[in-house]
Amino acid sequence: MEVIIVGAGIGGLAAALSLHAAGIRSRVFESASEIRPLGVGINVLPHATKELEDLGLLPALERAGVLTREVVYVTRRGEAIWSEPRGRYAGYRWPQVSIHRGALQMLLYDAVRERLGAEAVVTDHQAIDVVQSAGRATVHFQRRSSGVPLPPATADLVIAADGIHSALRARFHPGEGPPRWGGMTLWRGTTIARPFLSGATMVIAGTAKTKFVCYPSYGFPDGRQLINWIADVATKESDFRTVADWNRRGSRDTFLPYYAGWSGTLLDIPALVGAAEAIYEYPMSDRDPLPAWTFGRVTLLGDAAHAMYPIGSNGAAQAILDARTLAFELASRATVEEALAAYEAARRPAMERLLQAHRAEGADVVLDLLESRAPGGYADLEAVLPYREREEIALRYKKMAGFDLQRLNESPPMTPGRPG
Ligand X SMILES: Cc1cc2nc3c(=O)[nH]c(=O)nc-3n(C[C@H](O)[C@H](O)[C@H](O)COP(=O)(O)OP(=O)(O)OC[C@H]3O[C@@H](n4cnc5c(N)ncnc54)[C@H](O)[C@@H]3O)c2cc1C
Contact segment (CB under 6 A) with ligand X among 88-96, 198-206, 302-310, 379-387 equals 302-310
Q: Which is nearer to ligand X, 121 or 200 (CB)?
A: 121
Q: Which is nearer to ligand X, 304 or 369 (CB)?
A: 304
Q: Strand, coil or helix: what is 399? A: helix
The CB-of-11 to ligand X minimum distance in angstroms stands at 3
Interacting residue with ligand X among 20, 188, 324, 347 (CB under 6 A): 188
Return the amino acid letter for 14.
A
* Ranges within 102-161 binding ligand X (CB under 6 A): 126-127, 161
Q: Strand, coil or helix: what is 371? A: helix
Integer Cα distance of 410 and 50 in angstroms: 11
Q: Which is nearer to ligand X, 206 or 315 (CB)?
A: 315
Q: Which is nearer to ligand X, 216 or 315 (CB)?
A: 315
Q: Write each residue from 27 to 56 as x if it is in contact with ligand X (CB under 6 A), else as -, in one continuous string.
A: --xxxx-----xxx-x--------------
In contact, 71 and 84? CB cutoff 8 Å: yes
Contact segment (CB under 6 A) with ligand X among 192-200, 212-220, 299-307, 385-393 equals 299-307
Backbone φ and ψ for 87, nearest 5 degrees, come out as 55, -140
Interacting residue with ligand X among 167, 203, 272, 393 (CB under 6 A): 167
H helix count then E strand count, the chain:
14, 19
Contact segment (CB under 6 A) with ligand X among 2-10, 173-181, 340-348, 367-375 equals 2-10
Q: Is 3 in the site for ligand X (CB under 6 A)?
A: no
Q: How far is CA 235 from the centre of its chain?
A: 23
Q: Which is nearer to ligand X, 287 or 398 (CB)?
A: 287
* Ranges within 228-267 binding ligand X (CB under 6 A): 246-247
Q: Is 302 in the site for ligand X (CB under 6 A)?
A: yes
How would you classify the pairing of strands 157-160 and 41-44? Answer: unpaired
Report which DSSP code applies to 316: H
In contact, 73 and 119? CB cutoff 8 Å: no
In contact, 74 and 6? CB cutoff 8 Å: no
Q: Is 286 in the site for ligand X (CB under 6 A)?
A: no
Q: Strand, coil or helix: what is 52? A: helix
Integer Cα distance of 225 and 227 in angstroms: 6
Closest residue by beta carbon to ligand X? 9
* Total residues binding ligand X (CB under 6 A): 32
Integer Cα distance of 130 and 140 in angstroms: 6
Interacting residue with ligand X among 51, 53, 70, 162 (CB under 6 A): 162
b/e per residue 289-315 (b: at least 16 CB within 10 A)? bbeebbbbbbbbbbbbbbbbbbbbbbb
Q: Write each residue from 71 to 100 as x if it is in contact with ligand X (CB under 6 A), else as -, in one continuous string.
A: ------------------------------
CA distances for 59 relative to 22, 54, 64, 66, 228, angstroms = 21, 11, 9, 12, 22
Give residues in contact with ligand X (CB under 6 A): 6-12, 29-32, 38-40, 42, 101, 126-127, 161-163, 167, 188, 246-247, 302-304, 310, 315-316, 319
